[in-house]
Structures are given as structure tokens and as C-alpha cells.
Structure 1
Amino acid sequence: MTAIRPPAKDPAPPLLRVRDLAMTFPGRRRSAPVRAVDGVSFDLAAGETLGLVGESGCGKSTTGRMIVRLLEPTAGTVEYDGREIGRLSQRALKPLRREIQMVFQDPHSSLNPRQSVARIIADPLLVQGSSAAGARERALELMELVGLIPEHADRRPHEFSGGQAQRIGIARALATGPRLVVADEPVSALDVSVQAQIVNLMERLQRELGLAYLFVAHDLSVVKRVCDRVAVMYLGRIVEVGAKDRVYGAPAHPYTRALLSAVPLPDPAAERTRERITLLGDPPSPAAPPPGCSFHPRCPKARSVCRTEAPVLRLLAPGEPREVACHFPEEG
């Protein structure tokens, strides 16, 4: 007798859906406009961590700021929990700001030096209409949650170390009970030992609170540890996106392979014998991107089609949930 299998359940819709997101900054005086982000698309599931990586200036931080609407996109859509939020007015967006928050790269420059720590953490709640007493009580709870001493609530940011200041920034981001946190290089300004502490904290908070992270970074070692999936950006576009183990274990795009070849290995013997990929020249200016594939001037595999046709992001192989924008990807 043949067993009857129950119908497969449809996968849950993503918490965040970004499609064709673009940002063009006007040029100064007579200079050309700068295409900082040029058609970025990705999904982020509830409780997942997606790493957005690439060289400085590739557009990853601009992408994060557009998602939280610190920057207004030039084009494209941002859907949060099934609702398009990219064109909402600030008034209509206000209730959703409870659920989408941001942690910034430089903890001290993102904190108001004139305010106490308790007030900084409570500010998002006060904006949302909480009472002063209730917001302060919540701020003290959050200080304890992120590993700070509540008795220090009335101190100013300059009285804390860099790691402690970043804990304040994380507490502020958690004040309204968000489901999505955009973390823009949250550990790059910290010492290595402090980086590990902040990463441990963010992982624990994700487990306890069910957070989804968009983790913007250039340190591939940190991304490998904290992320479920990785999206690699180059000159404003995503060139490869997929599960962390596949991207790190068998990178398909030449740029991804070059980035990973520069990551130090813990085994000295393996470090001495592995292949290093040296890219040609410097990244092109986003004010004057090259025709065709934007990576072709530096790509060791470039051919004539790469100079005339821009590759589209497509599945690498049937059944493998990894997409690559390359005319000649590695199939391994």
C-alpha cells in the first residue's frame, strides 16, 4: 500500500523583500551622478542573518540605510512583512519603526554626548509615545540585557569604552522590540577581543528575541561566524548570494573567490600553500562604471561578452539556492 504524503507546505514569506533597489547621488558641480546602489534584490527571512559584504564603497551601507529609510531610494521597492514601505510618508512609517531598527558602525558618534545613557536608550520609546517613567524603566532593563550596569544609567557616553558604547547602541535599537535589525559594520571600530564579545551578545539576543539581522560588514571571518546566508556586493550590485557554507566552500563568482583568498587561515601550512588571487587595478568609480560586467576590468576570466553585456543574477544550478551574476561562473 502506497503511503499518501501530506501536501508540502508553502515556505513562509520573507520578512524583508528588496527588489531592484537603487540609489543615485547627484554629482557635485559638473561631476557625473554617482550610482551608489544599482538594482539590488534579496530576501531575508524572520530570525535569519544575511551578511552583506564587499569592499569599501561598494554600496552595502547605503543599502542598509535605505532599508531603514535614513536615505530615500531612487528606485526599487522595500517590502517589510508583506507591506511596501519604500514610499510611505514619515507619518505612515512611524508605527513600523518599532519593528525595524539600526545599529551603527561608530558607537560614540551615533550617541548624543549631551544625554545620559538612560535617555539615549529611552528615546525611541518616547518618540513612540511611552511615558518618561515607563521608558526609563525599560531602559534599565535593556542595560542589564546587553551586559551594562543599570547603576550607570545617568552617565554620559564618553564615560564608556568603545565596546560598552556599542552595547548602548544595541540596547537603543532593541528598545521598541524590533523584529529586524540592520547592523552596519557593528564591530569594525572595535578591538578584536571586544569584537568577539559583541558578536556573542548579538548571537544571544537573536536566539532569545528571535531577531532577523541584515549584517553589513567587510570582515569575512566575522560574517562566516554569524550569518546564515551571504550576499557579495561589487560596485553597487550583488554578484553572488547564497547559503554561507556554499559561498565560502565553493565560491562561484571571481570576485567572491578573490575576497576569500585574502582571508587569513588559522593553519600556517595551509596559509603558505593556498592560491592567492590578485585583482588587477583599483575598483572603478561608481560615477563612471564600465560597460558590460562592472567587474570585467579586474577579472582574470573576462572575455569579450563581459565587456558588452551585464550578467544577470541567476541560479547557479537547478536545486541549489545560490544566485550568481557572472557569464562564466565556477560550477564547483
Structure 2
Amino acid sequence: MTPADSRATVDCARNETADRSAALLSVRQLVKTFPGRRTRTGRATPPVRAVDGVSFDVRAGETLGLVGESGCGKSTTGRMLVRLLEPTGGSVAFDGVDISHLGQRAMRPLRRSLQMIFQDPHSSLNPRQRVSRIIADPMLVQGIDAGAARRRAAELMEQVGLIPEHLDRYPHEFSGGQAQRIGIARALATQPRLIIADEPVSALDVSIQAQIVNLLERLQQEMGLAYVFIAHDLSVVKRVCDRVAVMYLGRIVEIGERNEVYTTPAHPYTRALLSAVPVPDPVVERARERIVLQGDPPSPAEPPSGCTFHPRCFKARDICRTDQPLLRITGRGEREVACHFPETESV
């Protein structure tokens, strides 16, 4: 494919998604199905629908939190947003361009504006490369001169709170928090507009978590960044996010403005998650209702019929076992909930 063909492909995708140009990132009915595998006995396991029809928008300068239990599809969704995984269905539009199936050459110029921070800082950094090369690599791929890339890497080291003189060290010479700062510097190298942060503080000590969260907030204010913040720590999400999307078994069951979701959760699953978040006030903590869900999350290879949450839901009715609820606006504002009997309505 020639450069002219690449530009034509991007222009075509841009025209097809012009109606979604108001959002920096627009996700519609995103699906990811992993094929089954054959066991030693020759039996084929069923395919796994890890992400099942996820839709949301992210505006410029906004932080959207993506939360849920382990295995709900958060990280798979994040990897599809930056095309580290190919979607099985649905679409992802970035800045008005449908990037769901763009070729590598057409996708390359868009990667300047779309970057990712990974969960484990050390496993995401090449142990054989010096920090200078790790941070400079995205710039070199984009055609920036090696000398300019190294100077920019030194600036980024200082911007994330590290000493530029340490550029020639290897990743194993840094602590977990320092290694994550290097990962953040690498993500900032091409001056992105949107960063997918996949549980960026879950592998760090609590004191270091606060430092990284403060760093991400400062960088957002200075650079006008938008984040998709993937996490299971609801306290951190409440601190950094403007809106929150709650996932369960590959689907979004509630999405809305942060304070509304945290103050008056509408989905029973959201309510159960928030009841597990400890409160530092012992008097308030003792008076709180604690919701304990029964059983384990079902397998995404064999999801229940109807509402996938109904086997564990304390409000389940007959309709929940047969009809899958769709996201619909409930309460005030723009909050959407996929529940037949949301908490904002009487049963």
C-alpha cells in the first residue's frame, strides 16, 4: 500500500464516521470472541465471548473509568481500543476515523495520538534495552531523528519525576514505581491525545499508587489528555474519573457520571461492588449495608440466558432469566443501566 492509498483509506474511514466526530473516542457494539481449543481427548471447548457488545464515548480531556471483577473483559476492551487485539465485531472510531480494521500503514500516523500504559511496569519494558531507547522507540517509529528523540526522552524523564542522567540505565535498575513512570514517559513520547491506562497502579504499593495517580492528574491538566482508566480499585476510580462504566461478563451494565454512580448506584451489581469499598470512618463503616453476592461469576464460554447477572442477583425475577436487558437511560442526567429493575425505580 502506497502513502497515497493510506491517506485515502483514512479519509474514507473519516467520512463514514463523521456523525461521531464530537467524541474523541467512540466505541459501538464492540465484540471480542476467542476461539475454543481442543483438549487432549480431542473435544473442542466452546468459544469465549470476552467482550459482548460494549459501547461508550470518551470526550477530549475526559477520564472514563472502566471497572469490574477480574475476567469481566476490561483489559481486553482496552487492548482492542489501541488495536493490540483485533475486534471480532463492532467499531472503534478515534477522532472521527474508524480504526477497527485499518491496515498497519494507515494506522501508524494515528498511533501518535493513541497510546497505552500497561499494568505491570517491568514486564512491559524490554529488559535488554536502555531506558533512552525504550522511551525513544515510539518517536523513531514515527520518523523522528535519533538525536531529537534522545533529547525528548530526557525531557520526558524529568517531566515524570525521574533524573535524565538515568537514561542509560536498564529497567531492572529501577523500582516498580520508577518503572511505571518510564512506561508513562514512553506513552507521552508522541504527544498523544488519549491514553488507555490498564490498571496502572494495581501492581504498586499504596504510597506509590498515590504518587502515580497525582502524576497522571498533573499530566492531564498540563497536556489536555483524555484517559480510559481501567481498574478494579473503586477508590482510585472515584478519585481520578469523570464518568464510570461498570462491566460484568463482557457487557457494560451501568455507565454515568461518577458522583451519580457512586452516590445512587442503579444496577444491583454496582451497588454490591460499592458496598465492598471500605470507609475510613468506623462508625459509618459499621452502619453500612454489606451486600455479599452468592456464587462465582459464570463462564463467558457458557453465559446464562437473559440477564447474565441474574444467577447472583438479589432482585432477580422471572423476566431476568429469559430477557436480556439493554442499556437505557434511568434517573437524572445521562446515566444508562442494563437492568429490568434498576435501583432508581420501584420493583
TM-score category of the 2 structures, normalised to the smaller one: over 0.9
Distance 1:320 1:198 in 2: 31
Distance 1:314 1:221 in 2: 26
Distance 2:281 2:119 in 1: 30
Deviations 1:185-210 (A, max 9, x none): 00000000000000000000000000
- Matches for 1:187-198 after TM superposition, within 5 Å: 187-198=201-212
Q: Look up the match of 1:25.
A: 34
Deviations 1:218-245 (A, max 9, x none): 0000000000000000000000000000
- Matches for 1:48-127 after TM superposition, within 5 Å: 48-127=62-141
Distance 2:37 2:202 in 1: 29
Amino acid corresponding to residue 320 of structure 1 in structure 2: G
Q: CA deviation at 1:12?
A: 7.9
Give the structure-1-normalised TM-score: 0.96
Runs of 5+ unmatched residues, structure 2? 1-19, 39-43
Greater helix content: 2
Deviations 1:7-39 (A, max 9, x none): xxxx98110000000000001111000000000
Give 3-state SS (helix, strand or coil) of 1:118's partner: helix
Q: Look up the match of 1:145.
A: 159
Give 3-state SS (helix, strand or coil) of 1:294's partner: coil
Residues 21 and 96 in structure 2, CA contact (< 8 A), matched pair in contact too: no
1:16 to 25, 30, 33: 25
Query: Is the aligned partner of 1:322 residue 2:335?
Result: yes
Amino acid corresponding to residue 111 of structure 1 in structure 2: L
Give 3-state SS (helix, strand or coil) of 1:202's partner: helix
2:266 to 252, 258, 271: 252
Query: Is the aligned partner of 1:181 residue 2:195?
Result: yes
Give the structure-2-normalised TM-score: 0.92
Q: Look up the match of 2:16.
A: none
Amino acid corresponding to residue 306 of structure 1 in structure 2: C
Equivalent residue pairs, number: 321
Deviations 1:130-187 (A, max 9, x none): 1110110100000000000001110000000000000000000000000000000000
- Matches for 1:167-246 after TM superposition, within 5 Å: 167-246=181-260
2:325 to 283, 302, 311: 311
Distance 1:95 1:277 in 2: 48
Distance 2:302 2:281 in 1: 41
Q: Look up the match of 2:3.
A: none
The 1:261–1:200 alpha-carbon spacing in structure 2 relative to 1, beyond 3 Å, is same
Distance 2:333 2:195 in 1: 27
Query: Is the aligned partner of 1:287 residue 2:272?
Result: no
Deviations 1:52-91 (A, max 9, x none): 0000000000000000000000000001111111110011
The 1:71–1:12 alpha-carbon spacing in structure 2 relative to 1, beyond 3 Å, is closer
Q: CA deviation at 1:320?
A: 1.6
Q: What is the aligned-residue RMSD (CA, Å)?
A: 1.0
Distance 2:103 2:134 in 1: 25
Q: CA deviation at 1:330?
A: 0.8
Q: CA deviation at 1:266?
A: 1.1
Residues 21 and 95 in structure 2, CA contact (< 8 A), matched pair in contact too: no
1:266 to 280, 293, 298: 280
Q: Look up the match of 2:289.
A: 275
Distance 1:138 1:267 in 2: 46
Give 3-state SS (helix, strand or coil) of 1:114's partner: coil
Runs of 5+ unmatched residues, structure 1? 1-10
Distance 1:117 1:320 in 2: 46
Distance 1:97 1:44 in 2: 17
